[in-house]
A and B are shown apart, each in its own frame.
Chain A
Amino acid sequence: MAAITIENLGKTYAGGATAVTGIDLDIRDGEFVVLVGPSGCGKSTLLRMIAGLEEITEGTVRIGGREVNRLEPAERDIAMVFQNYALYPHMTVRQNLSYGLKNRRMARAEITRRVDEAARILEIGQYLDRRPRALSGGQRQRVAMGRAIVREPAAFLFDEPLSNLDAKLRVTMRGEIRALQRRLGTTSVYVTHDQLEAMTMADRLVVLRGGRIEQVGTPLDVYRNPVSTFVAQFIGSPSMNLLPGVIDGGTLRLGGARFAGTGAAGPVTVGIRAEDLTIARPDAEGAMAAQLLTVEELGSQRLGYFDIAGERVVAAFPAGQVLRTDMALTVSPARLHLFDTSGCRIAA
């Protein structure tokens, strides 16, 4: 159990490429933090610097108050779950789980106790004598988890551990990982590029972009108050609609409609979540004329894709909602997200 403190962390690879810069992050003891961002934004690099697999070129990492910059991975008291599981193919499941304990010269009875306990928790007892090759993807995933928990480390590090599983198993496993982590209370850092995984698992989300932290917050906080158009579009599915608007004399003109506007005059980008759009009478205040393009059925919801003043906009409706070709949509002014032209949120 330990807090992880990251200060001004940066990584420049030998070739001169800067993958990560100026990362400041406090991860509390027992917290489950998810690093999320598009491919190449430096999530793995950041995680691997915490693990000690990648040399730190700037800043410091502390685990449990101890600076670990110069420590070997084995000395950092962390366990890592890899995307490809990295199970030792020539060892049985039991040997895979015991390997790290044996290397630490733990008593044999204690090793057996811990492995059996982990096997019981993860329900992999009947596979203990098999090789990884003879296991399904989900079972391998459990073994990889098992190898992490037998060590009883100060922190778990996960690098996209579920991305090799099919969609359904992924949903099950993310619930299980989270339940297990709550039960053990082990500080965890979890990397994913899947925003849904990030939203559902995280105590706190860290959205990365181009090697920097874009926003840190609870999933709901980030969803409701994205600091930039980047976060707004990355978090949430379907992605937030972004429309060009103009603030002029205290009103916001948007898609042919007027809303009570705020702040400085000038062009803005207006963000609207799909579920915040509602059907309005064409002559109502704040009604935007919308032409239906296509409909996607999700079963529980219908997604309508509209053309509003030349912009493509998606709106979510309850199942069975009747949609016509020419309609009017509106949104409550309180639900508008305003961004300046550089994409930063304008405080309401």
Chain B
Amino acid sequence: MRAFATNKMQTKRTIFRNRWLPYLLLAPQLAVTLVFFLWPAGQAVWQSFLREDAFGLKTTFVGLANYTRLFDSPEYLNALRVTLVFSVSTAALALLSALLLALALDRTIRTTRLYTTLLVWPYAVAPAVAGVLWWFMFNPTIGILPYLLEGLGYDWNHALNKGDAMALVIIAASWKQISYNFLFFVAGLQSIPASLREAAAIDGAGPVKRFFTITLPLLSPTTFFLLVVTVVYTMFDTFPVIDATTGGGPAQGTTILVYKVYDDGFIGLNLGSSAAQSVILMGIVIVLTVIQFRYVERRVTY
């Protein structure tokens, strides 16, 4: 895993004899990118400057009107806020739990094949399935968790309570990403030489101090990489989770940006606005990726 993460960051130069061979080798990848990304992306950008009437009969060019409208719309601003809460909480939960699990593994690396395998399984579960699983477990009438919560005096109902709904989607979304983060954290921890922690132990640092002054700083490139990956995940790949659990509700309480794109475009059939929203999302992910590559190239390796 680690090797994968760092190899990507090094530049390797290979000399090709034939001038056209490199292009030929890239062609399938480029074709896929073109057909499945650039073409629809271009469509979306174009679409975001247009407005269709309610019956889809007439299309007019409206310039940036779709964008300006968005930022005047309380629903869109709500979706932005919901996304912020959702992304930050999911990322925090997914990173922290993964780190704790990885630390637990790192202490006893020998006997833990099973542990690792079990922890990796959730990653193989489709997001929608994960969503349904959690939906069942949190179902107010048949779920086990509301039953237990009731024992503690808490009346769980994510169909009515926005806070409960948000908690549900955060848990369901981070559960899946924990496996992925866990693997990277394990690799990151293993790449820190044991002698560093031993030297710190001799230097009078207890386990907690060692963690905060040695392990965590040395793990920061991994953490940063995972933070960006997880944020991108929460903003884009969590659509099935939300769709299968809360459907964006109650009262838009869990309608994140990507869900609103779908809601406005496919349910509300407001294609222009939906396109403008996806262009904004695309902008966000491009910015995140650029930050990622800049940062990663500069100070990932110690």
Contacts and interface: CB of A to CB of B under 8 A. Distances in A.
Contacts of A80: 198-199, 202
Interface in A148-193: 151
A89 interface: yes
B203 interface: yes
B210 to A, nearest CB: 10
Given A82-B195, A84-B195, A103-B209, A89 B202 contact: no
B223 to A, nearest CB: 13
Interface residues of A, number: 23
B196 interface: yes
A73 B202 contact: yes
Contacts of A79: 202
A73 B302 contact: no
A104 B202 contact: no
Given A100-B204, A103-B203, A133-B302, A90 B198 contact: no
A74 interface: yes
B217 A72 contact: no
A72 B205 contact: no
Given A86-B195, A88-B196, A90-B302, A100 B218 contact: no
B119 interface: no
A51 B202 contact: yes
A53 interface: yes
Nearest to B217: A90
A231 interface: no
B302 A86 contact: no
A74 B202 contact: yes
A103 B204 contact: yes
Interface string B38-76: 000000000000000000000000000000000000000
Contacts of A88: 196, 199-200, 214
B27 interface: no
Interface of A: 51-53, 72-74, 78-80, 82-84, 86, 88-90, 99-100, 103-104, 133, 147, 151
Given A73-B202, A90-B302, A100-B204, 9 more contacts: A52-B201, A74-B205, A80-B199, A82-B199, A86-B198, A88-B196, A88-B214, A89-B302, A103-B209
16 contacts: A51-B202, A52-B201, A52-B202, A53-B198, A53-B202, A73-B202, A79-B202, A80-B199, A80-B202, A84-B193, A86-B198, A88-B196, A99-B205, A103-B203, A103-B209, A147-B203
Interface of B: 193, 195-196, 198-206, 209, 213-214, 217-218, 302
Give the 6 A-B residue pairs with the shortest CB-CB distance, closest first. A100-B203, A89-B302, A103-B204, A86-B195, A86-B199, A74-B204
